[in-house]
Structure 1
Amino acid sequence: MIPSLKNILIVCLLLAALPACKPKTAGPLPPQIDYGQDTCDACGMVIDQPRFAAATLLVNGEYLKFDDVGEMLAYHMNHPEAQVAAWFVHDYLSEEWILGETTKFVKSPTIQTPMAGGIVAFADQAQAEAFAAERNGKLFTLDEMRAQVHMVEHP
Structure 2
Amino acid sequence: MKLRLLIITLFLNLLACSPKPEPIDYGNDICEFCKMNITDSKYAAEIVTHKNKIYKFDSIECLFQFRKSFIKEEEIHSEWVNDFSQPGKLIDLKNAYFLKSEVYRSPMGLNVLSVESKEKLNEIKAKDGGNEMSYTEVFVLANEK
Q: Give deviations 1:78-113, integer Å, cap 9, x for gaps.
A: 335363221101111112111111110111233201
Aligned with 2:124: secondary structure? Answer: helix
Q: TM-score, normalised by structure 1?
A: 0.72
Matched residues, number:
132
Partner Cα distance (2:97, 2:38) in 1: 22
Partner Cα distance (1:126, 1:67) in 2: 25
Contact 2:28 / 2:38 at 8 angstroms: preserved in 1? Answer: yes
Partner of 1:4: none
Q: TM-score, normalised by structure 2?
A: 0.77
In the TM superposition, 1:114-153 aligns within 5 A as 114-152=107-145
Q: Does 1:75 align with 2:66?
A: yes
Q: Give deviations 1:51-95, integer Å, cap 9, x for gaps.
A: 111111123321110011122112212335363221101111112
Aligned with 1:50: secondary structure? Answer: coil
Q: Give deviations 1:28-70, integer Å, cap 9, x for gaps.
A: 5222321111111011111111111111112332111001112
Partner of 1:85: 77
Gaps of 5+ in 1: 1-14
Query: Please, which of 40, 49, 59 is the counterpart of residue 50 of structure 2?
Result: 59
Query: Please, which of 2, 22, 25 is the counterpart of residue 34 of structure 1?
Result: 25
Q: Which has the larger radius of gyration?
A: 1
Q: Percent identity?
A: 20
Q: CA RMSD in A?
A: 2.5
Tell me whether 99-108 or 139-148 shows the greater mean CA deviation.
Answer: 139-148
Q: Does 1:98 align with 2:91?
A: yes
Aligned with 2:42: secondary structure? Answer: helix
Gaps of 5+ in 2: none
